[in-house]
Amino acid sequence: MPDMPEIQRGHDVPPAPDAAETRAEALALALMGAGAMAQEMLSPDATWQCGDAPVMVGRGAILAALGALRPPRKIYIEQVVTQGKAGTVSGRLVTDTGGARLFCHVIRYTSAAAQQIAQIVSFDHGVKAG
């Protein structure tokens, strides 16, 4: 199993997040290979769109993709926002080769109870020094 990354939280992330924020952050970490996601968290027909890659459809496809992820070296969580049926987690990460990337995971649940995920949309792009 790969080493788990160093995880830091920015000043905009409350030191005692509420349950919805904690859940969204844990899901985002799993989407980066730095945690686990229980299959029950995904609706059977959930989708995950990652950049320009084809949309993954279904619980099995998403879980298989999660199992193949390699976690980055460091993750900086800069913002966690939840409201009703949605949550977003954004920040920066450092890859195992030292490259920096910005990320944002948008998580849409099947209901405001946030017990199952209907859709995930993930964005990331490289950061250039200068």
- Residue ranges of domains in the chain: 6-34+41-126
Residue 32's CB: how many other CB atoms inside 10 A?
23
- What pLDDT was estimated at residue 49? 97
Strands (E) across the chain are located at 6-9, 42-50, 56-57, 74-83, 86-94, 100-109, 117-126
Distance (Å, rounded) from C-alpha 95 to C-alpha 72? Answer: 4
Give the CATH number of domain 6-34+41-126; options: 3.40.50.1820, 3.30.70.120, 1.10.10.60, 3.10.450.50: 3.10.450.50
- What pLDDT was estimated at residue 130? 56
- What pLDDT was estimated at residue 127? 87
β-strands 6-9, 42-50: how paired?
unpaired
pTM for this entry: 0.92
Per-position pLDDT tens, the chain of length 130: 457 899 999 888 877 788 999 999 999 999 999 999 999 999 999 999 998 899 999 999 999 999 999 999 999 999 999 999 999 999 999 998 889 999 999 999 999 999 999 999 999 999 876 5
Is the Cβ–Cβ distance between 34 and 28 less than 8 Å? no
- What pLDDT was estimated at residue 67? 94
- What pLDDT was estimated at residue 3? 77
- What pLDDT was estimated at residue 15? 77
